[in-house]
Chain A
C-alpha cells in the first residue's frame, strides 16, 4: 500500500458502543463535567442573573429586568471600546502569525543550536503578562528606557520619544510587546503541526521538482489548516479579552484612547461598583465571542471537494 495523501484525511468511523461501555465512558468524563459545571456553567448562570439586577458592590441588589442592557446600548464608551478591541485584534493577529510561522520554519529542522533558539523564542511566553507589561513600561521609558536611547544614539530621533504618550505609538508599543510575548506559543503550535507531516511527502515533492516555496505552499500550509484554525481561535479570543497590558501600561490612556472591552467591564465593576451592569457587559461580550468563533469555524472548515473516504478495511478511493 503506497502512502497517499488520502491517509491523512481519515474521517472517524461510526462506532456502536455497548451500554456498559457508555457508562464507563461517562464515569471517565464525570470529573471533567463536574469541573466545567462548577467553574463555568454555574458562574455563567450567576452572571446572567446578576445582569438582570442593579447590583452595587456596596449595598443591596434589586431586580430591574433588562434595563442594564438598555443602558449598555446607549453607552458610547462601550461601543468605542469594542471597536478599539476589534482594531487591536485585526492588527495584532497577523503580526503574531507572521512572526510565529517564520520562527517555526526557522527551528523545525534538526540543525545545531536549533534547540537553543527554540527555547529563546519560547522564553517570553513563560513570563506572566503582568510582569512583561511592567518590564516594557521601563524599556519604553523616555529617561531610562532602551528604545529611546538606541534611537537617539543612531541619530534617528533628536529627543526621547514618549512611546506611551501618544495614542498611536502607545497602541504600537503594546502590539510589539504582545507579539514578543505571545509568538513563542503560537510557534510551538505550528511546530507540532509541522512535525506531524511526514518527511516522505516532501521527498516525493522534491522528486517531482518542487522548490522550497512550492513545498511550503502546496504541502505545509494546507496540512496545517487545523493547527492554523486552533491557533487563530486561541489568538482571537485572547486578543478580545486583552486587559492586563492595557491596565498596566497605559491605564486606558493617553486620554482614554486605549480602553479595551474587558478594561471597561473592570471599570464598571470595580470603579463604579456596578456589578449588575458589568455582568450585562460580560454577557454581551460572550455572545460576540461565540459569534466570532462560529464565523471562524465556518471559514476554516475542511473544504468538501478534497474530502476522501477511507474505510477501516483498508480499501482506498478518491472521490
Chain B
C-alpha cells in the first residue's frame, strides 16, 4: 500500500512539474549573452523589457575573460544565443568568419542611424555590410585626485595637457611622501593599456596599427616617446610597485584608495566613484598627447545576432528597443553610462554632471584599432603588445629593443593568417 502511494505521488509530481515547465516555455523567449563587465547595467534593462510582457529575454552573464572562447565555442557547436553583446574590438574577426547575421537592413531602417557611434559602426562593418549596432559606450579618460593636486600645490581645475606637465605633476604628488603616488597603470593587463596608454600615442600623432590593420606601426618616434614617458615615471618611483604585476584587478581600485594622483580609466569609473566613494574629490580630463592634443579609446559593446539564430525578428525587436531613448537616456545615462547616440548625448542627466559631457564628446572623437587578429596582437596576456610595454618600462633592455621585438612579432602574426 505504502509503495503505491509513493509511486503515485512521484508520478503526480512529475506530471505537475512537466506541466508547469511546458507552460513556462509557451511564452516566446530569446537568449541574450553579455560579458560580466556589463552585468550592472544590463540586468535592470532585461528586467524592464520582460516586464512589458511579450517576448521574454533570458540573460546569461559570462565571465569577462572567457567570453570570446565561450561564444566562439557555442557558435561552433550550434548552440549560440539569439542576441549577443560583444566587446566591439572582436566584431571584425566574428564578422569575417561568418559568425554574425547581416543587420544592414535593420541599420538602414533607423532614423538616427547617422548619429550612432562612428567607432562602433566602423568595427561592425565588414565588406560594406553591417553586422552589429552599438549597445554600450565606454571611452577612456584621465581621472585625477583634486585633493592631492591641492596638497601638492597644483591647481585642481587644471589637469595636465602635455606629457611634460604629467611628469611634473606626478613627481610633485609623489613628493607628498608615504604611500601617496603620482600615477598608476595596470602593468600586467593588456586590455587596460590599449584602453589608456594607446590614446597617449594617438594624441601625439602615432598609432599601433595602420588604418587597414594590415601592418604594425610600433617602430615610430611617438610610440618610443610614450614608452619612455612611462619608463621615466616608473624609474622616478611615482608609480606603486604593485603596478608591475597588476593584471587588471586594481585597475579601478588603486585610484579609489585616494592615494593616487592620476590614472587612466574609463567613463564607468565616474558613476562608481560617485556612488561608492563620495568623499573622493576627482576630476576627469582627456588623455593628453606629447605636446597638447588629446585622444581616447572609443570602446564598449556592439549588439548583434549570431548566425543560425531562429528568433531573428524577436531579437531585432529587442535591439531596436535597446537603442531607444527609453534605454539610452532613462536607463544608461541615468545610471552613469553614456548613450551610444550622439543625438542623445546632451540629456537631462548629463546636464547634472558636466563630466559626462566631456566623456561623451571624447567618445565621438575617439579611436578604436581595427584588426582581425585583435586577440593575438593586443588582448593576449602573453602577447606582443603587453610584452612591449613590460619590456620597455620594467625591463632593462631599453625601449628600442622592446619596440623592435614587438614590431617583429606583430608582423609575424599579421603575416601568418
Given contacts A267-B380, A271-B380, contact A58 B244 (CB under 8 A): no
Partner of A165, one of B72, B244, B375, B376: B244
User: Closest residue of chain B to A250, judged by CB?
Assistant: B245
A256 interface contact, C-beta 8 A: yes
Point out the residues of chain A lying under 8 angstroms from B376, CB to CB: 271-272
Bound CA–CA A251/B65 (angstroms): 12
Does A254 contact B244, Cβ atoms closer than 8 Å? yes
Point out the residues of chain A lying under 8 angstroms from B368, CB to CB: none
**Which of B39-47, B93-101, B159-167, B323-331 contacts its partner?**
B93-101
Does A251 contact B94, Cβ atoms closer than 8 Å? no
Does A59 contact B244, Cβ atoms closer than 8 Å? no
Point out the residues of chain A lying under 8 angstroms from B395, CB to CB: 255
State how many residues of chain B have any CB contact under 8 Å with chain A.
27
Bound CA–CA A71/B98 (angstroms): 27
Bound CA–CA A273/B380 (angstroms): 12
B73 interface contact, C-beta 8 A: yes
Q: Please encode chain B, from 81 to 115, with 1 for each CB lying within 8 Å of some chain A CB and 0 for all others.
A: 00000000000011001110000000000000000
List CB contacts (< 8 Å) of B224-262 with chain A.
241-242, 244-245, 247
Does A256 contact B382, Cβ atoms closer than 8 Å? yes
- The minimal Cβ–Cβ distance linking A71 to chain B, given in whole angstroms, is 9
The interface centre, meaning the residue of B247, B380, B382, B390 with most chain A CB atoms within 10 A of its CB, is B382
Point out the residues of chain A lying under 8 angstroms from B72, CB to CB: 57-58, 273
A259 interface contact, C-beta 8 A: yes
12 A–B contacts, CB within 8 A, in A order: A58-B75, A58-B94, A59-B98, A159-B241, A160-B241, A162-B241, A164-B245, A253-B245, A254-B188, A254-B244, A255-B390, A255-B395
Does A254 contact B382, Cβ atoms closer than 8 Å? no
User: Closest residue of chain A to B179, judged by CB?
Assistant: A143
Q: Please encode chain B, from 373 to 393, with 1 for each CB lying within 8 Å of some chain A CB and 0 for all others.
A: 001100011110001001100
Does A267 contact B94, Cβ atoms closer than 8 Å? no
Known: A254-B188, A270-B69. 16 other contacts (CB 8 A): A57-B76, A58-B72, A58-B75, A58-B94, A58-B99, A141-B242, A142-B242, A162-B244, A165-B241, A252-B382, A253-B382, A255-B387, A267-B380, A271-B380, A272-B375, A273-B375
Point out the residues of chain B lying under 8 angstroms from A159, CB to CB: 241
Point out the residues of chain B lying under 8 angstroms from A270, CB to CB: 69
- The minimal Cβ–Cβ distance linking A146 to chain B, given in whole angstroms, is 16
Given contacts A58-B72, A267-B382, A273-B72, contact A162 B242 (CB under 8 A): yes
A56 interface contact, C-beta 8 A: yes
- The minimal Cβ–Cβ distance linking A165 to chain B, given in whole angstroms, is 5
Bound CA–CA A252/B188 (angstroms): 11
- The minimal Cβ–Cβ distance linking A142 to chain B, given in whole angstroms, is 6
Does B387 contact A252, Cβ atoms closer than 8 Å? no
Residues in chain A within 8 A of chain B (CB atoms) = 56-59, 141-143, 159-160, 162, 164-165, 251-256, 259, 267, 270-273
Point out the residues of chain A lying under 8 angstroms from B245, CB to CB: 162, 164-165, 253-254
Point out the residues of chain A lying under 8 angstroms from B93, CB to CB: 58
Point out the residues of chain B lying under 8 angstroms from A142, CB to CB: 241-242
User: Closest residue of chain B to A71, judged by CB?
Assistant: B416
Bound CA–CA A277/B244 (angstroms): 32
Does B380 contact A58, Cβ atoms closer than 8 Å? no
Bound CA–CA A272/B383 (angstroms): 10
List CB contacts (< 8 Å) of B348-389 with chain A.
375-376, 380-383, 387
Point out the residues of chain A lying under 8 angstroms from B94, CB to CB: 58
Bound CA–CA A312/B93 (angstroms): 71
Point out the residues of chain B lying under 8 angstroms from A273, CB to CB: 72, 375
Does A253 contact B188, Cβ atoms closer than 8 Å? yes
Point out the residues of chain A lying under 8 angstroms from B387, CB to CB: 255-256
Given contacts A58-B76, A162-B242, A273-B72, contact A255 B391 (CB under 8 A): yes
The interface centre, meaning the residue of B97, B245, B387, B390 with most chain A CB atoms within 10 A of its CB, is B245
- The minimal Cβ–Cβ distance linking B96 to chain A, given in whole angstroms, is 8
Does A59 contact B242, Cβ atoms closer than 8 Å? no
User: Closest residue of chain A to B90, judged by CB?
Assistant: A58
Point out the residues of chain A lying under 8 angstroms from B76, CB to CB: 57-58
Point out the residues of chain B lying under 8 angstroms from A57, CB to CB: 69, 72-73, 76
Point out the residues of chain B lying under 8 angstroms from A164, CB to CB: 245
Point out the residues of chain B lying under 8 angstroms from A252, CB to CB: 381-382
Bound CA–CA A255/B72 (angstroms): 28
Bound CA–CA A220/B241 (angstroms): 50
Given contacts A58-B97, A254-B245, A271-B376, contact A259 B382 (CB under 8 A): yes
Partner of A251, one of B244, B247, B375, B391: B247
Does B242 contact A251, Cβ atoms closer than 8 Å? no
- The minimal Cβ–Cβ distance linking B142 to chain A, given in whole angstroms, is 24
Point out the residues of chain B lying under 8 angstroms from A271, CB to CB: 375-376, 380, 383
Q: Please encode chain B, from 63 to 76, with 1 for each CB lying within 8 Å of some chain A CB and 0 for all others.
A: 00000010011011
Give the top 4 A-B pairs by smallest Cβ distance, nearest first: A58-B97, A59-B97, A270-B69, A251-B381
Bound CA–CA A251/B245 (angstroms): 10
The interface centre, meaning the residue of A58, A252, A255 with most chain B CB atoms within 10 A of its CB, is A58
Point out the residues of chain B lying under 8 angstroms from A58, CB to CB: 72, 75-76, 93-94, 97, 99
Bound CA–CA A267/B413 (angstroms): 14
- The minimal Cβ–Cβ distance linking B135 to chain A, given in whole angstroms, is 21
User: Closest residue of chain A to B73, judged by CB?
Assistant: A57
Does A251 contact B380, Cβ atoms closer than 8 Å? no
Q: Please encode chain B, from 298 to 342, with 1 for each CB lying within 8 Å of some chain A CB and 0 for all others.
A: 000000000000000000000000000000000000000000000
- The minimal Cβ–Cβ distance linking A271 to chain B, given in whole angstroms, is 5
User: Closest residue of chain B to A164, judged by CB?
Assistant: B245
User: Closest residue of chain A to B249, judged by CB?
Assistant: A137
The interface centre, meaning the residue of B75, B99, B244, B380 with most chain A CB atoms within 10 A of its CB, is B244
Does B241 contact A251, Cβ atoms closer than 8 Å? no
Point out the residues of chain B lying under 8 angstroms from A141, CB to CB: 242
Bound CA–CA A299/B344 (angstroms): 75
Bound CA–CA A170/B148 (angstroms): 34
Bound CA–CA A267/B381 (angstroms): 10
- The minimal Cβ–Cβ distance linking A252 to chain B, given in whole angstroms, is 5
Bound CA–CA A159/B94 (angstroms): 47
Does B73 contact A251, Cβ atoms closer than 8 Å? no
- The minimal Cβ–Cβ distance linking A254 to chain B, given in whole angstroms, is 7
Point out the residues of chain A lying under 8 angstroms from B391, CB to CB: 255
Bound CA–CA A270/B98 (angstroms): 18
Bound CA–CA A164/B76 (angstroms): 37
Point out the residues of chain B lying under 8 angstroms from A272, CB to CB: 375-376
